[in-house]
Amino acid sequence: MSQVRVLVGTKKGAFVLTADGKRDQWDVSGPFFAGWEIYHMKGSPVNANRIYVSQTSGWFGQIIQCSDDGGKTWNAPGGGMQTTPQGMPTGESNRFVYDSAAAPLTTHQWYDGTQHPWDFKRVWHLEPSLTDAEAVYAGVEDAALFLSKDGAHSWQELPGLRGHGTGPAWQPGAGGMCLHTIVLDPADPDRIYIAISAAGAFRSDDGGKSWKPINKGLRSPYLPDEDHEVGHCVHHIAMSPRRPGVLFMQKHWDVMRSDDAGDNWREVSGNLPTDFGFAIDVHAHEPETIYVAPIKSDSEHYPLDGQLKVWRSKTGGNEWEAMTKGLPQQNCYVNVLRDAMAVDTLDDCGIYFGTTGGQVYVSPDAGDTWKPIVRDLPAVLSVEVQTLA
Amino acid sequence: MSVAAVRIELPFHLRTLAQVNGEVRLDVEPPVTLNRVLDALEECYPVLRGTIRDHGTLQRRPFLRFFACQEDISHQSPDDPLPDAVAAGREPLLIIGAIAGGTSRPGDRAARRHRTQKSTSP
């Protein structure tokens, strides 16, 4: 019998939600790391029991946690479970230090337009390798990409990204200057896509050594040059592993599509009543079926008219239909953040999303109907799902 | 001079992280300074590296404070000797998550210390 495991990161801890393939009855465990902000948690596609967690705090900084039993128990790889022969804990999984020898620590643009030094704050996104359970990428604020090849015991920056010559033009979005999206290409192990608010999208075709901005076609009216190479506030990018190279993007405003690995983008907002939003994802089996959760505007981060709707396009954009069955259609003023939507890979593809009001919803029928799994968690920052055999 | 057993009180979240209950007691070679105590603490509990002071610069994280003998020593040099009572283990070194409010009036310090011992979680 198939199972699904939903990994939920919230403002005050992590939760693991499990159900069988019917996705009707749910077990809820947690909070893990109670009181800490869990920006993201994600399982390895190679070993589903290996789960990586970004645990962070404005007071105490950054911790990375791991589980090797599907979320039942956890350890900080540097925090006591690994010991020397003398019994002393060793390692330090929370050390994220920019590689200033390879790429000098320059400056980026600050909110007021002045230049500001790069300063590590937290890990926004963890992306486990598609081929090695011990390898995991981390997207951090201030924007940079790190890689661990030893199960998060140690981290090395891939400095070619931060060292890209456009760095001084990057600027923080409202949430900070974060690298929040990492997409690995299953057909080409050297191809990586990332997105930064507010720099834009970048692609590497050599395993992260060098990077190319891929923002042609994005238009951002807040930039002096609307078509500038960088400076765009990309909120999230999704790609079906069944069709690498076709990308869908929720930008600050605008839903976008690229059919050439990001070289060119075109708007596919179509009939959406508002195309501001954060989350976007692709159906597991139908690469032209995509989902967004539009938000009223950049100034009002809640659904239009107080009605929570997921919009689905079965045509790869432009033609959208509202999915509302089971979702609140009055007095709803929550947000759906960029990493808070996911899909499972069961035959009847399940769609999941979490809200800043603490609800996690599931649709076991590709968006037609919805049910809350939980209603009263802390604000949800991220949702990932694992489909277990 | 003998090695002192320094007592350290961690805030709730760092006790949880380090998997310790109550005070941490560590042997620290004299002279007992804040830096030497933190070095010893991080040696025993590597998961705390980066949580109290920055990895690279070793600067105190902005929202943490160090209290000793009812005084805020956060702005003293970390290489200054700690008070004798802390060095000798008669008083603990308090590491707390900064909280808003409070007072600097001497008469209120005991109450403030009591509050911080009860809960220092943000």
- A132-187 residue pLDDT tens: 999 999 999 999 999 999 999 889 999 999 998 899 999 998 889 999 999 999 99
Residue B38 · residue B26 · CB < 8 Å: no
Q: Say if residue A150 is preceded by a cis peptide, omega within 30 of 0.
A: no
pLDDT, tens digit (0-9, with 9 covering 90-100), for A82-128 = 444 444 344 566 789 899 899 888 899 998 889 999 999 999 999 99
Single-letter amino acid, residue A256 = M
The proportion of chain B whose per-residue pLDDT surpasses 70, expressed as a percent, equals 80
Residue B1, pLDDT score: 57
Q: Is A119 on the interface with B (CB under 8 A)?
A: no
Residue A245 · residue A234 · CB < 8 Å: no
- Give the least confident one: A19-23, A38-42, A79-83, B96-100: A79-83
Of the candidates A291, A293, A268, the one whose C-alpha atom is nearest the C-alpha of residue A281 is: A291
- Give the least confident one: A105-114, A249-258, A314-323, B30-39: A105-114
pLDDT, tens digit (0-9, with 9 covering 90-100), for A2-14 = 999 999 999 999 9
Q: Is A389 on the interface with B (CB under 8 A)?
A: no
Contact A58 B46 (CB under 8 A): no
Residue A358, pLDDT score: 98
Q: Return d(Cα A90, Cα A62) in angstroms, integer.
A: 17
Q: Is pLDDT of A50 > 90?
A: yes
Q: Is pLDDT of B2 > 80?
A: no
pLDDT, tens digit (0-9, with 9 covering 90-100), for B52-63 = 998 878 899 999
Q: What is the mean pLDDT of residues B19-24?
A: 92
* DSSP, res B26: E
Of the candidates A335, A376, A372, the one whose C-alpha atom is nearest the C-alpha of residue A355 is: A335
Contact B47 A97 (CB under 8 A): no
Q: Is B19 on the interface with A (CB under 8 A)?
A: yes
Q: pLDDT-derived band of residue B114, with 50, 70 and 90 as boundaries?
A: very low
**B113: enclosing H helix or E strand:** helix B109-118
Any residues with CB less than 8 A from the CB of B76 and at least 6 apart, and which?
Answer: B34
* Phi, psi dihedrals of residue A287, rounded to the nearest 5°: -70, -10
Residue A369 tokens, joined = 């109907």
Q: Is pLDDT of A202 > 60?
A: yes
Of the candidates A358, A340, A346, A347, the one whose C-alpha atom is nearest the C-alpha of residue A387 is: A346
Residue B101 tokens, joined = 């409010």
Residue A286, pLDDT score: 98
Residue B40, pLDDT score: 95
Distance between A34 CA and the closest CA of chain B, angstroms? 9
Residue A93, pLDDT score: 66
Of the candidates A50, A51, A54, the one whose C-alpha atom is nearest the C-alpha of residue A11 is: A54
CA-based angle B14:B17:B23, to the nearest 5? Answer: 50
CB-closest option in B17, B19, B43 to A63: B17
Contact B51 A94 (CB under 8 A): yes
Q: pLDDT-derived band of residue B76, with 50, 70 and 90 as boundaries?
A: very high
Mutate which of B10, B13, B14, B121 to test chain A, going by most A C-beta atoms within 10 A? B13
Q: Return d(Cα A97, Cα A172) in angstroms, integer.
A: 19
Residue A225, pLDDT score: 80
Please give the model's pTM, rounded to 2 decimal places.
Answer: 0.91
Any residues with CB less than 8 A from the CB of A328 and at least 6 apart, and which?
Answer: A307, A308
Q: Return d(Cα A185, Cα A189) in angstroms, integer.
A: 6
Residue A286 tokens, joined = 């139908």
Q: Which of residues 30-89 of B touch A (CB under 8 A)?
A: 43-47, 49-52, 55-56, 61, 63-64
Q: How many DSSP H helices and E strands does chain A contain?
A: 1, 29
Tokens 């007021």 sit on residue: A112
Any residues with CB less than 8 A from the CB of B84 and at least 6 apart, and which?
Answer: none
Q: What is the mean pLDDT of residues A295-322?
A: 97
